[in-house]
Amino acid sequence: MPWCESCSKLQEDSDLGSGGECPECGEVIGQRRKVPWHFQAMIGVTAIYLVYRLVQGILWISHHL
């Protein structure tokens, strides 16, 4: 969601004017920032690790029954 600095509020994309201006103050809001690549990489590695630990836990339970 775009952030308006002067209003200190998040604005919905559908509420912005045709030129990308804030509906309350009229200030032009910049484009959204992309999510940094290292954050996406951290999320991917975390997901892989959690799946690995889940498989490891299932195998441990199956050997101890």
Q: Measured between alpha carbons, how far apart are the two ends of the chain, in Å?
A: 50
Q: Which long-range contacts (CB under 8 A, 24 or more apart) does 61-65 make?
A: none
Containing 63, the helix (H) or strand (E) segment is: helix 37-63
Domain ranges of the chain: 1-32, 34-65
pLDDT, tens only, 21-34: 888 888 888 766 67
pLDDT, tens only, 6-57: 888 787 877 777 777 888 888 888 766 678 899 999 999 999 999 999 999 9
Residue with tokens 């969601």: 1
Look at residues 19, 22, 18 and name the one whose alpha carbon lies nearest to residue 2: 22
pTM: 0.54
